[in-house]
Amino acid sequence: MKTEQLVASLVVDRAGSARPLGRAMGWAVLGGAAVSLVIFAVEYGPRVDLMPAFATWRFDFKLVLVLAALAAAAAACLAMARPVSTARWRWTVLPVLLIAASTLAAELTIVPAGYWQAHLVGSNALDCLTAIPLFALAPLAALLLAMRRAAPASPARAGAACGALASAAAAVIYAFHCFDDSPLFVLTWYSLAAMPVILLGALLGRRLLRW
């Protein structure tokens, strides 16, 4: 087959353009999170004091933090999906760091040093380490599937970004179950819980996202 002949087929196929990448990934996160919400509803459920919790600054900042992480991970994912990687997404990490630093400073100021350890260890650490990876599985699978249509400059890094986004979505869900709202706890255990998911994403990405 001559190249000019191949071009004829490509031109006929042009009209069948798929939907924009960003939208496909948005749907993947939503679809995956819906599955995780079912697991959440059946096995975990929201914390009993959810309504009063909204009135506390720790819980509110926990939500703001995980949502900011979700936005940053989404920006990273979209950047990694392209063959030419840009660094602009890194700016979206800045709000996450600022929120983390300011809540941490507030916590350390308010809480006497003797109680820091208790706040750090919390009461749900093991729960957090299992629930977040569990809730991340379905979003990760859906994201990797959507990412297969993309052309990542680095398949491993794109997979890791999918893992980060899936963990952030999982963290948003888990935040409504977990009683531990101290920034000391959230920053430590939520990050640790995301690590295996990011690693899994990178490993799967290396295999599945090659093009």
Task: Decide if residue 81 touches other proteins (CB under 8 A).
Answer: yes
Task: Decide if residue 148 touches other proteins (CB under 8 A).
Answer: no
Residue whose tokens read 């409504």: 176
Residue in 8, 30, 50, 98 binding other proteins, rule: CB under 8 A: 8
Residue 114: DSSP 8-state:
G
Residue in 90, 118, 199, 210 binding other proteins, rule: CB under 8 A: 210
Task: Decide if residue 208 touches other proteins (CB under 8 A).
Answer: no
Residue in 67, 82, 125, 176 binding other proteins, rule: CB under 8 A: 82
A 10 A CB-CB count for 176 gives 17
Between 21 and 120, name the residue whose CB sits nearer to other proteins: 21
> Which part of the chain contacts other proteins (CB under 8 A), choosing from 12-20, 46-54, 62-70, 183-191?
12-20
* Closest alpha carbon to 163 in 155, 174, 153, 173: 155
Task: Decide if residue 21 touches other proteins (CB under 8 A).
Answer: yes
Task: Decide if residue 7 touches other proteins (CB under 8 A).
Answer: yes
Task: Decide if residue 84 touches other proteins (CB under 8 A).
Answer: yes
Between 78 and 164, name the residue whose CB sits nearer to other proteins: 78
Q: Which two tokens stand for residue 129?
A: 């380490």
Q: Which two tokens stand for residue 26?
A: 């948005």
Residue whose tokens read 């697991």: 39
CB of 136 to other proteins, least distance (A): 25
Name 95's Cβ contacts closer than 8 Å, sequence gap at least 6.
Answer: 68, 71, 72
Measured CA to CA, the distance from residue 205 to residue 102 in angstroms comes to: 34
Measured CA to CA, the distance from residue 59 to residue 50 in angstroms comes to: 9
Measured CA to CA, the distance from residue 131 to residue 126 in angstroms comes to: 9
Task: Decide if residue 88 touches other proteins (CB under 8 A).
Answer: no
Task: Decide if residue 91 touches other proteins (CB under 8 A).
Answer: no
The answer to whether 140 and 200 are in contact (CB under 8 A) is yes
Task: Decide if residue 153 touches other proteins (CB under 8 A).
Answer: yes
* Closest alpha carbon to 160 in 40, 77, 96, 59: 77
Mark residues 94-133: x for contact with other proteins by CB under 8 A, - for none.
----------------------------------------
Contact set with other proteins (CB under 8 A):
1-18, 20-21, 81-84, 149-151, 153, 210-211
